[in-house]
Amino acid sequence: MLRTLAIAGRHMAARSRVHALRRMSSGPPKSAMSFPCIDRLESRQRDLLAGPEPTYDKVVTGYSTYTHHAPFVCDHMGVLHGFDIAYESWGTLNADKSNAILVHTGLSASSHAHSHEKNMNPGWWEKFIGPGRALDTDKFFVICTNVLGGCYGSTGPASVDPQTGERFATTFPLLTVNDIVRAQFHLLDHLGIQKLHASVGASMGGMQSLCAAALHPERVGRLVSISACARSHPYSIALRFAQRQALMSDPNFNRGFYYDSVQPHVGMKLARAIATVTYRSGPEWELRFGRRRRAPELPPALCPDFLIETYLDHQSERFCLQYDANSLLYVSKAMDMFDVSRSVTERLARQRESVVLNEPVAPVCLNEHEQMDAGEASSVETDEEILEDLVSGVRNVLQPALVLGVQSDILFPVKQQREIADILRKAGNERVTYYELDAMYGHDTFLIDVVNVGAAIKGHLENEHLIK
């Protein structure tokens, strides 16, 4: 008994020492970590609940509008009963209308590529367009549109469906890059431009530029494709898929029917952060930010802490209410499905031609359509057959072509630029110029490197020896 009591006493004494040590080491009462980044999101949520909703067509002003009144059958068999295309222009169209250049935009850009008297704000390609510049407005009439499916004046998911009086939202038909280009050529018809001096674009704009030359070879005098592809590759598809998943996971997304409620601003912010990582390069960020922190004297934080984090946070914050979420979904999906192969172009044409107007076509959601495509047996299996199909798709693209790639581009690597140049040459085009730029700005080089990108474009557009 005495031994048992002694052991129990020793255990109690040990527990007392442990509790004393815990009290000594715990210090003052603990407080929860602060999350100012989440506080800002919650504050914006409250502001959006109070209204008003964003008006994307007010983000860009001063554009002209072409209205197409006839039904427009899309490649995936949806029908628009007319559409609007917002466009801006610079320079003067000559008497025979032979000096027009069509500039194609990337995913989220507006028609405002350059400032003008109706909108003096700098455009997204401000330093490339103007007197004496790469696209010389003393010589050329330069046109830029907001793509079909966008939200800056052109018809898109945020537009009102004339048949219902309600916003399209996700009843809007799925689009392809081919659809976007065909809509642009309706605008050219309206302007009386039968043949472009050149079709020019970067990123998704490069896809459109190549597509324009393939669909309408007799109407495109020269081709410029920068940091694009002949067909979307798995890596870029995966990155855009991640963006769409982040966006659609926002509880405010509501399957695309959010226009009378709170916008899916958190999902948009996350999607833009992912996209921004793909637009630039590691070497640039090493030099620009390194491992520097915003406030190194403070303890680490889970909200933006490193300078690279604050940059991503700022860029995505700016974007999240400046562009329509549904437009991001639809236009990015069009990028994923882009493939200039002959078999794909012909299949899309057959689908379009099979539509009987005035008969209802059930909307197809994005996931359903992906599953349908995944279940189709492909007739193209080997690398050789894929290449042959691509070459057949550009067999009529014989005009002078400039293809530019950037070695630090991870979204559209130079391998894909070489593929464009290769298939054009294999198709019989003897006037293909290919350049690789050793710039550190990644995919966004086409927006930044005015000297090298601008000089290549200017030389291609103005070289008279390219025309046989």
pLDDT in tens, 286-301: 999 999 999 999 999 9
Angle between helices 265-279 and 307-319 (to 10 degrees): 120
Question: CA-to-CA distance for 445 and 388, rounded, in angstroms?
Answer: 31
Strands 432-437 and 141-145, sheet pairing: unpaired
What's the whole-number average pLDDT of the chain? Answer: 90
* Tokens, residue 401: 């072509």
Lowest-pLDDT choice from 147-151, 228-232, 317-321, 434-438? 317-321
User: Taking Cα atoms as reference points, which of 281, 269, 362 lies closest to residue 319?
Assistant: 269
Residue 19: strand pairing partners: none
φ, ψ for residue 365 (rounded to 5)? -75, 160
User: 345: pLDDT confidence band, cut at 50, 70 and 90?
Assistant: very high
State yes or no: is 110 an active-site residue: no
What number of other Cβ atoms are within 10 A of residue 256's Cβ? Answer: 21
State yes or no: is 261 an active-site residue: no
User: 27: pLDDT confidence band, cut at 50, 70 and 90?
Assistant: low
Q: Which of 179, 389, 409, 444 is catalytic?
A: 409
Q: Tell me the whole-structure pTM to 2 decimals.
A: 0.89
Q: Which of 154, 203, 236, 392 is catalytic?
A: 203
Question: CA-to-CA distance for 319 and 313, rounded, in angstroms?
Answer: 10
User: Taking Cα atoms as reference points, which of 336, 56, 461, 116 lies closest to residue 125?
Assistant: 116
User: 264: pLDDT confidence band, cut at 50, 70 and 90?
Assistant: very high
Angle between helices 234-248 and 265-279 (to 10 degrees): 160
* Tokens, residue 57: 């067509």
* Tokens, residue 426: 């294999």
State yes or no: is 409 an active-site residue: yes
Burial of 127 by CB count in 10 Å (0-12 exposed, 13-18 middle, 19+ buried)? Answer: middle
Angstrom CA distances, 44 to 51, 187, 313, stand at 10, 39, 15
Q: Which of 104, 112, 216, 443 is catalytic?
A: 443
User: Taking Cα atoms as reference points, which of 429, 425, 430, 433 lies closest to residue 404?
Assistant: 433
